Amino acid sequence: MSVAGGEILVPGTAGSGPALVLTAPISFWGGVDPASGRVIDTHHPMCGEMLAGKVVLMPTSRGSCTGSGVLLELVLNGHAPAALVFRGEEDILTLGALIAGRMFDRPLPVLHLSADDYDRLAGATFARIAPGAVQADGLGIALTPLEPGALDLTAADRAFLDGAHGPAAALAMEVTVAMAVAQGAARLTDVTRAHIDGCIYASPANLTFAERMAGMGARVRVPTTMNAISVDYAHWRRQGVPAAFGGPAARLADAYVRMGARPTFTCAPYTLEDPPSRDEPIAWAESNAVVYANSVLGARTVKHPDFLDLCIALTGRAPLSGVYLDAPRTARRVIAVDLPQGHDDALWPMLGWLAGRLSPDRIPLLTGLEATRPTPDDLKAFCAAFATTSAAPMLHIAGITPEAAGTVAPDADTVRVGAADLAAVWRGFNAAGDGEVDLVAFGSPHFSLAECRALAERLAGHRRHSGTTAIVTLARHAEAAGRRDGTIAALEAAGVTVVPDLCWCSISEPVFPPSARTVMTNSGKYAHYGPGLSGRSVRFGSLADCVAAAVSGKAPATLPDWLS
- 28: CB partners within 8 A, 6+ apart: 61, 64, 66, 67, 68, 70, 71, 92, 93, 96
Three-state secondary structure call for residue 7: strand
The distance in angstroms from the start CA to the end CA of the chain is: 45
Q: How far apart are CA 506 and CA 57, in angstroms?
A: 28
64 is catalytic: yes
Catalytic residue among 16, 27, 36, 64: 64
- Partnered with residue 173 across adjacent β-strands are none
Neighbours of 262 (CB within 10 A): 16
> Interhelix angle for 449-459 vs 543-552, to 10°?
50
Q: How far is residue 156 from each of residues 12, 64, 312, 320, measured CA to CA in Å?
A: 30, 32, 14, 16
Q: How far apart are CA 533 and CA 521, in angstroms?
A: 14
Question: What beta strand segments (E) does 137-198 contain?
Answer: 139-145, 188-190, 194-196
What φ, ψ does residue 473 adopt, rounded to 5°? Answer: -105, 140
The burial class, CB within 10 Å (0-12 / 13-18 / 19+), for 423 is middle
Question: DSSP letter at 435?
Answer: S
At CA 253, angle to CA 538 and CA 172, rounded to 5?
110
Check: CB of residue 173 under 8 Å from CB of residue 317. yes
Which residues are catalytically annotated?
64
